[in-house]
Amino acid sequence: MEAGDIAIHTPERLLRAVEGSGRLGPEALANLERWLTAPCMDAFAPEIQALVDAASWEELEDAFSARLRVGTGGIRGPLGPGPNRINARTIGEAAQALSAFIEDYGHDAKYAGVVVGHEARRQSREFAELSCRVFAANGIRSHLFDGLRATPEVSFAVRFLGATAGVQITASHNPRTDNGFKFYWSDGGQVVPPHDARFMQLVSDVDEIRLTSMPQARAEGFVTSIGGEVDAAYLRSIRGLSTTASRSAKVVFSPLHGAGSTNVLKTLRGEGFDVVVAPEQAEPDESFPTAVGDLINPEYAEVMELPVRLAESAGADVALCSDPDADRIGAAARVDWESGRVRILTGNQVGAALTHYLLSRRRDAGRLMGEDVVIETLVTTGLIADIARGFGLEPRDDLLVGFKFIAEVIGGLEDPSRFVFAAEESLGYLAGDFVRDKDAAIGALLVCEMASWLKDRGATLPMYLDDIYGEYGYYKNALHLVELRGATGREAMGEVMLYLRCEPPESLGGMRVVGISDRLGEADRARYRMGGPDDVVTLYLSEDRRSRVTARPSGTEPKLKIYVQHYAPASAVLGEVKARVDAEAAAMGEAILDRCGQGLSPELHREWVRSERRVV
């Protein structure tokens, strides 16, 4: 059947036409039937009709063959009709499920209510208000921000207002086609196992979504607006983290059409930094008009390109770019004082430099203690842990991916003031105890202060990193992303993860595999289902475990993530060490990608070969 062959305008006839096409699997057909025949789904019929008219069979199969699942950051995905897409139905189900979650905690929890915020993406305000309407219909109060806000401010507001939970309508760093529902519990952190599984079960159990009108919800006192008071307290707390009075660094900043103007820009200007804002990306815009394709993730060099070019022309010391919901911050820095060239830094490099800087400042002020805590995830550079140990600390460096696990550790500390810094390789940084998620404004403040402190001493961030390598040894960290969309892509990812577990390679890139770590328990391996935070396999290529390859399916995007880390001790000729380690790490990456493809059936191998790939 070709695009344009169908001109059906009733749900029943549309369903018969789709069934007759033979292009959808039984699960997708069953879900599609429900979405076309249930009275509460009437609004989606025109969107489904448009997909059928365009013969978008792969899109329909992916949208209707599965249900959105809880990942490392809640529920997120492309906008569109279907249970595996973000739309009014799936957002309503998430809000209804969270209502049931809160119901278990009684009247006081319902009265304390839910903080609700949103970023700039399409339909974000609509989904935020929809969530409030669902909460109100379930007898739960909402504290609704009066406009777009950064995601970490929602985490802050939950703690500041003593709320039971928080919801941010966001897809974070996902493509601009996406949106999502991210939620926090009363500690300001995202829910962790087993509570995330409980929430997902509640989502699956939703049949009826209770709903009231927004005017009625406001009139009955279930929805109140928040804004300036929370903003002031949040920004005051961030500025309280200042580590130096120097403001010598000149800064270029891009909010990338997102919420970074509400937290990053206000923080830096409030602290007296000279900030040049990228004019093309200054205003919030749901269409993200300067996006490179659909990419709006500052982990990618092409997304950082505009602020980097502006920094070089403006003679800036630092270029910063926040992602749309301003919890991540990308950074680039002046290389030297002669060329004016600005180099993009990875999340691992920024995290390592900030760890060394913060511990140095703490030690020099006489405040460093053996109980101080530095935290990172298991796929973040081992250099952070080495630095922490060099300062006499015992880092937490074995956490599963997701800042919710970092928040869980912070929440469990006997003395939260001993928490110094946390980082994850995907541009997430945190200091302080008032936010329980990564925060672009906190990261930006600390990077700009570090750059100022270094500039006053005649150094740049890349120079500082070389000094750190000279002391601790050189690490090369690279992330290989393999994009595998749709049901077939998910099947391929699952087969790759099983293959690595059942038939691990004996060597990679000429290096022998000396150990394997699988975060899945034996029972979970026996009844394997792809996904989940513990679906992680690590292959060690050195006895000290500094050289390693880790594979995991993304919790938020249709991608397999393969993290390569390689290490060599310090040498008098750092440039030669870097070149050798970089080349060996590249060989490791090529070898693991080749190995992953070997375990696939011919059909899935074709999917693997045609997958989109990039190295970060």
* Chain mean pLDDT for the chain: 94
Rounded (10°) angle between helices 26-37 and 11-21:
170
Q: Using CB atoms within 10 A of its CB, is residue 287 exposed (0-12), middle (13-18) or buried (19+)?
A: exposed
**Among 291, 282, 276, CA closest to 258:** 282
Amino acid at 76: R
The reported pLDDT for the residue numbered 73 is 61
With residue 439 as reference, give the H or E element that holds it. Answer: none
Note whether residue 14 is domain-resident. Answer: no
Is the Cβ–Cβ distance between 113 and 158 less than 8 Å?
A: no
Note whether residue 22 is domain-resident. Answer: no
pLDDT (tens digit per residue) in 344-359:
999 999 999 999 999 9
Percent of the chain with pLDDT over 90: 85
Does 434 share its domain with 496?
A: no
Confidence of residue 4 (pLDDT cuts 50, 70, 90): very low
**Letter string b/e over residues 412-431, b meaning 16 or more CB atoms within 10 A of that residue's CB:** eeeeeeebbbbbbbbbbbbb
Does 482 share its domain with 570?
A: yes
Note whether residue 300 is domain-resident. Answer: yes
Rounded (10°) angle between helices 26-37 and 57-64:
80
At residue 1, does pLDDT exceed 50?
Answer: no
Edge-to-edge strands, sheet with 165-169: 75-78, 178-184, 165-169, 114-118, 142-145, 223-226
Least confident range of 24-33, 384-393, 429-438: 24-33
CA end-to-end distance (rounded Å), the chain: 40
Q: Which of 456, 472, 488 is the last residue of a domain?
A: 472
Does 128 share its domain with 221?
A: yes
At residue 2, does pLDDT exceed 50?
Answer: no
Record the pTM.
0.95
Q: Using CB atoms within 10 A of its CB, is residue 514 exposed (0-12), middle (13-18) or buried (19+)?
A: middle
Does 250 share its domain with 221?
A: no
Confidence of residue 203 (pLDDT cuts 50, 70, 90): confident
pLDDT, mean of residues 521-550: 91
Least confident range of 69-83, 174-188, 397-411: 69-83
**Among 503, 570, 568, 569, CA closest to 539:** 503
> How many helices (H) and strands (E) would you count in the chain?
22, 23
Least confident range of 64-73, 89-98, 308-317, 384-393: 64-73
Find the CATH number of the domain harbouring 527.
Answer: 3.30.310
pLDDT (tens digit per residue) in 102-115:
999 999 999 999 99
Note whether residue 484 is domain-resident. Answer: yes
Q: Which of 415, 450, 472 is the last residue of a domain?
A: 472
At residue 507, does pLDDT exceed 50?
Answer: yes
Note whether residue 444 is domain-resident. Answer: yes
Domain count, the chain: 3
Note whether residue 56 is domain-resident. Answer: no
At residue 487, does pLDDT exceed 50?
Answer: yes
pLDDT (tens digit per residue) in 122-161:
999 999 999 999 999 999 999 999 999 999 999 999 999 9
- Six token digits for residue 579: 């070149």
Does 414 share its domain with 277?
A: yes
Does 222 share its domain with 274?
A: no
> What is the set of active-site residues?
172
* Alpha carbons 178 and 122: distance in angstroms, whole number: 8
Does 438 share its domain with 340?
A: yes
Question: Chain-centre distance of CA 584, in angstroms?
Answer: 29
Least confident range of 4-13, 253-262, 572-581: 4-13
The reported pLDDT for the residue numbered 270 is 98
Q: Which of 472, 501, 520 is the last residue of a domain?
A: 472
Does 423 share its domain with 291?
A: yes
Does 421 share its domain with 442?
A: yes
Residues spanned by the domain of 600 = 473-615
The reported pLDDT for the residue numbered 9 is 61
Q: Using CB atoms within 10 A of its CB, is residue 512 exposed (0-12), middle (13-18) or buried (19+)?
A: exposed
* Alpha carbons 580 and 441: distance in angstroms, whole number: 36
Least confident range of 69-78, 256-265, 553-562: 69-78
Note whether residue 260 is domain-resident. Answer: yes
The answer to whether the peptide bond before residue 194 is cis (omega within 30 degrees of 0) is yes
pLDDT (tens digit per residue) in 15-70:
888 888 888 999 999 999 999 888 888 889 899 999 988 989 989 999 999 888 77
pLDDT, mean of residues 381-399: 97
Confidence of residue 531 (pLDDT cuts 50, 70, 90): confident
Confidence of residue 12 (pLDDT cuts 50, 70, 90): confident
Note whether residue 512 is domain-resident. Answer: yes
At residue 315, does pLDDT exceed 60?
Answer: yes
Does 222 share its domain with 236?
A: no
Confidence of residue 6 (pLDDT cuts 50, 70, 90): very low
Find the CATH number of the domain harbouring 214.
Answer: 3.40.120.10
Residues 6+ positions from 422 with CB-CB distance below 8 Å: 374, 375, 376, 403, 406, 410, 428, 429, 430, 431, 438
Does 503 share its domain with 361?
A: no
Does 170 share its domain with 276?
A: no
